[in-house]
Structure 1
């Protein structure tokens, strides 16, 4: 995968996963996101780094935050954005995904942002391109969501600085979560040593799952959150899990919901995060989601700058 994602001189060619990406590459993207925040005056001033470039959003699953922030990121960099209408395309006539991609390549598109329910689809596209276009994974099945991992790392870095001193708990539907995988990848690469995963047994990763090998697994959320610096809550992936995976939403909230009482068990000032969309009072209580320790809306804002940085790395050449 590293040979697919990186050029011979170590720069990004595609972004499919954060697994295996060198720390220097990740830190360069995070630094560039900060520079773009500054240069664009928090997004108020457009930049023209990608003028003349064309980005196509290929979303085969619903999305609000990711699709909108990719739109804004590309537009603020001066690129033309095409939101590909899957329901009105030739895919409904039986055209294969790769034939669709090759057709779009023939129109001289520069980048494809791909969200798909099947794990591995963005990698398959990247391996079969016939042009110099790049592929950005906007979430594939339960495999990876690399730009979410980057924006979460950016959000934490702006608050804490030194990752090596952090204790972070990720709680929720770990087994089906591409966000959990990308967060674990990026936080481990950036030096977090105490990574805790908490979920009901049915929603924890299967025994021996390699990407979670260095994490501590918990079934009891009260124990998992104790002494933590940050709590990343996850959405229940109802569309990917068996109906019987949890007995009821009320029972789940009682055992695994982040309430003010549970948050008090963490370190004072423990940061609260959630990739969204939130199922309120199922994964997280209203007063915690909207409280002073919540970074949820900061994550949304940082998503635009993280995606601007990735697009600039892939399409815009070296940073100034």
Structure 2
């Protein structure tokens, strides 16, 4: 990777993105081994610095680092000095003193990972694990990786992303990365859940889910983030589900090869019905598995694993 950090999907050109996806493909096989470990990052320290609650992303990064034999420190803001008023700068200086080689940061403030990476408070690599309503680049990478495994090259493929785009850092990162990989992306949402300036994004947008199903190679449903909503963005949950929820009837209108995705966690019965979430066309559980491989690839490439061998398994 050209940068020593991963802060935004916009940081990745096509070659960068494909290198991460190709490396993840190699590393995915590690999960099928009896011993799921490589010695690649032995002696390196990865800190999970989470200022927001997260189970699946934190565990995914932790599993990725441990499978590469890195030492992992989990730092939760709750119950720490941060909750007593310690600044991001003081926390960063502490991590620098502890010898952190990489910091995976999730923060409620958009731009916090960028601040950490450019401040010179610490010298390690910074990976954005979600900042406010801004971006979540490794989620976009694992989504693209999952699509590639089912659809092949994404050039010219039609990807429909549905739901609460306004509050979704996943939607922003996916829009940027999928455009870089040559896909045609359509955002579908109520007008109230599309961000101001969406017309400047490299995507199409629509208010009609039914009109976009028959051409879609993949449909990604977004979680309705009610915890971020301080106003009424749609009349009722029932009305939202009727117009923008994916049920079996809608899934059956998709092409036979098309897949159903969701970044999780799901509101079953609202944006997606239980039978669709659990159907053979759903790759939602696979996305979680692929997330570990993609995050292994990101840590491997950022922390100089490539300098030690031609492939991540070269010194296994």
TM-score (norm 1): 0.92
Q: Note if 1:53 corresponds to 2:41.
A: no
Computed over aligned residues only, the root mean square deviation of the Cα atoms, in angstroms, reads 1.5
Structure 2 CA distance for aligned equivalents of residues 208 and 253 of structure 1 = 23
**Matched residue SS, 2:52:** coil
Paired residue for 1:222, among 206, 210, 225?
210
Runs of 4+ in 1 over 6 A off after TM superposition: none
**What's the counterpart of residue 87 of structure 2?**
96
Paired residue for 1:161, among 136, 152, 164?
152
Q: Note if 1:172 corresponds to 2:163.
A: yes
**What's the counterpart of residue 53 of structure 2?**
62
Q: Deviations over 1:243-287 (max 9, x none)?
A: 311221111111100011111222123100000000001010111
**What's the counterpart of residue 198 of structure 1?**
188
**What's the counterpart of residue 258 of structure 2?**
270
Contiguous gaps of at least 5 residues in structure 1: 1-9
Higher RCO structure (Cα 8 Å, ≥6 apart) = 2
* Alpha-carbon contact 1:11-1:313 (below 8 Å) kept: no
Q: Note if 1:236 corresponds to 2:224.
A: yes
**What's the counterpart of residue 16 of structure 1?**
7
What is the aligned length? 308
Structure 2 CA distance for aligned equivalents of residues 101 and 248 of structure 1 = 43
Q: Note if 1:287 corresponds to 2:275.
A: yes
**Matched residue SS, 1:137:** strand
**What's the counterpart of residue 85 of structure 1?**
76
Q: Note if 1:150 corresponds to 2:141.
A: yes
For residue 209 of structure 1, report the CA deviation from its aligned partner.
4.9
**What's the counterpart of residue 130 of structure 2?**
139
* Alpha-carbon contact 2:95-2:122 (below 8 Å) kept: no
Structure 1 CA distance for aligned equivalents of residues 188 and 276 of structure 2 = 18
**What's the counterpart of residue 314 of structure 2?**
none
Structure 1 CA distance for aligned equivalents of residues 4 and 210 of structure 2 = 42
Structure 2 CA distance for aligned equivalents of residues 128 and 34 of structure 1 = 34
TM-score (norm 2): 0.93
Deviates more, 1:137-146 or 1:221-230: 221-230
Q: Deviations over 1:113-164 (max 9, x none)?
A: 1111110000001111344301100000111000000000100111111212
Structure 1 CA distance for aligned equivalents of residues 256 and 25 of structure 2 = 27
For residue 315 of structure 1, report the CA deviation from its aligned partner.
0.8
**What's the counterpart of residue 297 of structure 1?**
285
Q: Deviations over 1:15-50 (max 9, x none)?
A: 000114211011001111111123553684211111
Structure 2 CA distance for aligned equivalents of residues 40 and 240 of structure 1 = 35
Deviates more, 1:289-298 or 1:162-171: 162-171
Structure 2 CA distance for aligned equivalents of residues 204 and 42 of structure 1 = 43
